[in-house]
Structure 1
Amino acid sequence: MTKRLWWIAGAMLSVLALALGVWWFWGRPQGPLKVKAGVVAPVSMQEDVYATGSVVPVSRQEVRVLTPGQVAKVEVKVGDTVKVGQALVSLDTTLVDAQVAQARVSVEAAQAAVNTAQANLDELKKAQSAANLSGLGAESGAVSASSLLPDFLSDGKNLLQENPISPAVINQAEGALAQSKAALKQAQEMLKVAQVQQGQLIHKAGIAGTVLEVNAQEGSLASAQLPLVVVADLTQMNVEAQLNEVDAGKVRVGGKAIISSKMLGETTVQGTIVEISPTAVAKPSVQGNASPTVGVKIRLDKAPLELKPGFTVTIEIVIATKEGIIAVPQEALFQEGNKNYVYRIQAGRLEKTEVTLGIGNDTHQEITSGLKAGDQVVLNPSTDFSEGMLVAPEVGSGGS
C-alpha cells in the first residue's frame, strides 16, 4: 500500500514539472527571432568569368614530311631567329636532282623540235607566196617575176610553177608545229613537277620567328611522326581556354580579358576574345565523359617576354559593368523551383519576395525587379523561416 502511494505521488510530481515547463516556454512573452540582415543600396558591379588557359603563339610552323627521307643538312638549332625563306633543313636530293636534269634536257629537245617545225612552215609559206605572186603577174600581163629576180630565184620560181605547194602540205606543216609545241609544253610541265619535288626536299621558314624544336639529325631518316623543325613568332601570343556551358554562353567575340600569371607577379596583360568555338566538346576521362566545354581564343594586346608558349595563365573575362544598380549579397537569395526569392523584413516580419536577377559576381547579385533601395533583407535564410515570422536584425547587421 505504501509503495503504491509513493508511485502515485511521483507521477503527480512529474506531471506538475511538465506543466511548469510548458508554462515557462509558452506562458512567458516570446521576443522576435534575431536574424542577420542587410540593407539594399545602389552599388557598382562588374560580372566576370574566370578560367585557366595556355599560352600559344599566333603564328607557328611545323616542318613535316609525308614519307621518310634521309636528312642531308640541318641549318638551324633551337633558339635561332629565322627569316621568311631561310633554309631550315634539307633532305637528300640526289635522285630528284637527276630527274630535274633529265627534264631540262627534254625541254631543250622539245624546243629544238618546235624551232625546226616553225622554220619548215615558214619556208613552205614563203615558197607558196612566191608561186602565187608569179601566177598573178602572168595573168595580169605585168612584168614577169623572173625579170625582177636573180637567176637562181627565177629558177626556183620556175620549179614552183611546175610543182606548186598545195594547201594540204601547209596544213601538214602547221600540224607538225602544233604537235611539237604541245610536246614542249608537256616537257616544261614535267620540269616544273621535278623542280617542285626538288624544292619540297629543301624546307624553308614560312614565317619569321624563333626555332622552338629541332628533331632532325643529319644522316638519319626523317620521321613522319615528329616535325623536323618547329618555328613560332613569339612576339604575338594567344591564350586558349575551355569554358563550361554557362560561362561560354556569356562571352562574346570582342570581349575584353585580363591575363595574370605567377611569372608576371602583380602585372597583368590585356587581351581580346578573337574566336569562340561553334561547338562544345566533352572529352572522355577515367570517370566517364566530362561536362561539355567550349574553346575560346584570346589575343594578347602585347605579349611580355616572360610568357612562354605552354605556360598556364589565369583568365578574367569581363562580361558586364554597371553603375548604380540594386544588388543584394549572394547569401540573401534562395530558390524554389525555377524562381528566386529573398526574405524582406517589413514591419518586423518576414515577407517572402520573388526577385528577378541581372548580372552577378562572387559576392553580389543584381536585382532588376522585386526590391528597391532601402529594403532590408535577411542573410542566410533558414528553411525554418516562414511568411509573417516575427524577426529583428542583429546588432551590427548593415547594408549590402
Structure 2
Amino acid sequence: MTKRLWWIIGTMLLILALALGGWWFWGKSQGPLKVRVGVVTPISMQEDVFATGSVVPVSSQEVRALAPGRVAKVAVKVGETVQAGQTLVALDTTLVDAQVAQAQVNVEAAQTVVNSAQANLEELKKAQTSGSGAAPSGSDSESVSGQSGGLSSLLPQFGGQQSSSQQIIVSPALIRQAEGALAQSKAALKQAEEMLKVARVQQGQLIFKASMAGTVIEVNAQEGNISSVQLPLVVVADLKQLNVEAQLNEVDAGKVQVGGKVKISSKMLKDSSVQGTIVEIAPTAVSALSVQGNSSPTVGVKIRLENAPVELKPGFTVSIEIVVATKEGVLAVPQEALFQEGNKNYVYRIQAGRLEKAEVKIGIGNDTHQEVTSGLKEGDQVVLNPSNDLAEGIQVSPEVGSGGV
C-alpha cells in the first residue's frame, strides 16, 4: 500500500512539472522578444579612409657607382649639411687621369697639324692672288714670280711647279689639295677633342658631387675599400620637405582624390597631428601577397606634409586619416543594424511590434553610422546586432534603454 501511494504521488508530481513547464514555455513563446534597437536619425556625417604610411623626403639624391672601384676619399658623414656642387665621395682616378692626360696631348698634336695646314693653305692662296704672270695657255694654273722662299717648299707636297726663272705656278688643283688637307686635319682634331671629352666624363664619374642642398642621411662608402654597386655610396635628402607614401586597397583608393586633406598622426607627435594634402595617386594598382598568401591589389598615394615637425624623420611609420566625404543632415543607422544577403543590404525594422525585413540603399559611412539613401524614414526603429534566430513577422519589443525607450 505504501509503495502504491508513493508511485501515485510521483506520477502526480511529474504531471504537475510537465504542466508548469508547458505553461512557462507557452507563455514565454507567446510574449514579445526583447531586442536592442536603434533609431533612424538625421546627423552630420564625415567619411574617412584610414591607413598607415611611411615618411619619405620630397627630394633626395642617391650616389651610386656604375662599376666597382677603390674608394679614395669620403668627404662627408651622416648628419652633415651639404651644398649643391660639394664633393661627397671620390673613387681612385689614377687610370682615368692618365687617359685624360694622353687625350689632352692628342688634342694639342692635332691642333698643331691644323695650324700648319691652315698656314699652308693661306700661303698658297696668297701666292695665287699676288701672281704677276698668266698661266700657260690651256692650263688652269697661275704663275707667281719672286715667291720661292717657304712657298717653294710646299710644291712637292701639293704637286706645284717652279720654273727655271723662279716663277711658281699655283693651280686650282693645288688649292683644293691644301683645302682637303686642312679639312682632314680638322676632322682629326675633332675626333681627338671628342676622345678628351669621353675621358673627362669617365674621370667625372669617379668624383661624386651633391646635386642639391640637403642633409647626408646615409654613407655606405669607406676609404680604401671597394665600392658597392648594390648600395648607394651616399644619400642626401632635403629634410625640410617631407612626403608620406601609403598603399590603399581598391575600395578606399576609389574614394580619394588629388587635393584631398589628410591628418597625419604618430607616436612621436603624441596628441598633436600634422596636416597634409594628397599630391599624387598612382595610375595603376600593384599586387602584393597578404598575410593569408592572397594577392591584394593596392594603389600608391603620395601626401605632401605641411610644416613637417622635426620629430618626423624619413622612415617613420605614421597613421593617416583622409576625409573623403562630408554631409549634413543625412539619415543614418548604426553600423551594427545592417546585414547582407548577397550583394544587398538589409535591416530588421519594427513595424507594429513585429519584425519587417527591409532592403536599404547606403551612402557614406563612418566607424559608427551608415548613411541610408532609401528604404527607411526618420524615426524608424531597427534591430541592432540581428541574430540568425530572427525572422520576419516575429513579435518583438525594444529593451529598456535602447532606441530611445
Task: Output the TM-score relative to the length of structure 2.
Answer: 0.85
- Measured after TM superposition, the shift of residue 292 of structure 1 is 3.5
CA distance 1:41–1:33, shift in 2 (3 Å): same
Aligned to 1:328: 333
CA distance 1:347–1:98, shift in 2 (3 Å): same
CA displacement 1:128-171 (0-9 Å, x = unmatched): 2334x7549xxxxxxxxx9xx9x947999x96996532222222
Paired with 1:153 and 1:337, the residues of 2 have a C-alpha distance of 109
Aligned to 1:362: 367
- Measured after TM superposition, the shift of residue 61 of structure 1 is 1.4
The yes-or-no answer on 1:257 pairing with 2:262 is: yes
The yes-or-no answer on 1:397 pairing with 2:402 is: yes
1:392 partner amino acid: S
On the 8 A contact 2:147/2:167 being kept in 1, the answer is no
Paired with 2:17 and 2:205, the residues of 1 have a C-alpha distance of 102
Aligned to 2:96: 96
Aligned to 2:289: 283
Aligned to 2:79: 79
On the 8 A contact 1:74/1:217 being kept in 2, the answer is yes
The yes-or-no answer on 1:378 pairing with 2:368 is: no
CA displacement 1:329-364 (0-9 Å, x = unmatched): 001111112111111122222221110011111111
CA-based RMSD: 3.2
- Measured after TM superposition, the shift of residue 242 of structure 1 is 2.4
Paired with 1:358 and 1:385, the residues of 2 have a C-alpha distance of 26
- Measured after TM superposition, the shift of residue 208 of structure 1 is 0.8
CA displacement 1:242-262 (0-9 Å, x = unmatched): 223332332223222111011
Paired with 1:105 and 1:273, the residues of 2 have a C-alpha distance of 57
Unaligned runs of 5+ in 2: 136-142, 152-161
CA distance 1:153–1:89, shift in 2 (3 Å): closer
The yes-or-no answer on 1:241 pairing with 2:246 is: yes
Aligned to 1:187: 192
Paired with 2:396 and 2:351, the residues of 1 have a C-alpha distance of 10
Paired with 1:9 and 1:232, the residues of 2 have a C-alpha distance of 95
Task: Output the TM-score relative to the length of structure 1.
Answer: 0.86
- Measured after TM superposition, the shift of residue 19 of structure 1 is 4.2
Aligned length: 388
CA distance 1:341–1:367, shift in 2 (3 Å): same
Counting only pairs closer than 5 Å after superposition, residues 19-34 of structure 1 correspond to structure 2 as: 19=19, 21-26=21-26, 30-34=30-34
The yes-or-no answer on 1:178 pairing with 2:183 is: yes
1:87 partner amino acid: T
Paired with 1:293 and 1:19, the residues of 2 have a C-alpha distance of 64
On the 8 A contact 2:147/2:168 being kept in 1, the answer is no
- Measured after TM superposition, the shift of residue 326 of structure 1 is 0.8
CA distance 1:47–1:354, shift in 2 (3 Å): same
The SS at the match of 2:247 is: strand
On the 8 A contact 2:290/2:296 being kept in 1, the answer is no
On the 8 A contact 1:40/1:399 being kept in 2, the answer is no
On the 8 A contact 1:255/1:317 being kept in 2, the answer is yes
The SS at the match of 1:73 is: strand
The SS at the match of 1:398 is: coil
Counting only pairs closer than 5 Å after superposition, residues 134-145 of structure 1 correspond to structure 2 as: 134-135=133-134
- Measured after TM superposition, the shift of residue 39 of structure 1 is 1.8
Counting only pairs closer than 5 Å after superposition, residues 90-239 of structure 1 correspond to structure 2 as: 90-131=90-131, 134-135=133-134, 152=146, 164-239=169-244
Deviates more, 1:276-285 or 1:238-247: 276-285
Aligned to 2:139: none
1:362 partner amino acid: D
Aligned to 2:67: 67
Paired with 1:267 and 1:27, the residues of 2 have a C-alpha distance of 58
Deviates more, 1:110-119 or 1:31-40: 31-40
The yes-or-no answer on 1:347 pairing with 2:366 is: no
On the 8 A contact 1:41/1:373 being kept in 2, the answer is yes
Aligned to 1:47: 47
1:345 partner amino acid: I
Paired with 1:288 and 1:394, the residues of 2 have a C-alpha distance of 44
Aligned to 2:58: 58
The SS at the match of 1:385 is: coil
On the 8 A contact 1:283/1:289 being kept in 2, the answer is yes
- Measured after TM superposition, the shift of residue 5 of structure 1 is 9.5
The SS at the match of 2:218 is: strand
2:130 partner amino acid: A
CA distance 1:24–1:104, shift in 2 (3 Å): closer
1:223 partner amino acid: S
Paired with 2:31 and 2:285, the residues of 1 have a C-alpha distance of 58
- Measured after TM superposition, the shift of residue 99 of structure 1 is 1.3
On the 8 A contact 2:247/2:301 being kept in 1, the answer is yes
The SS at the match of 1:359 is: strand
CA distance 1:265–1:13, shift in 2 (3 Å): closer
Aligned to 2:312: 307
Deviates more, 1:115-124 or 1:6-15: 6-15
Paired with 1:389 and 1:289, the residues of 2 have a C-alpha distance of 41
2:205 partner amino acid: Q
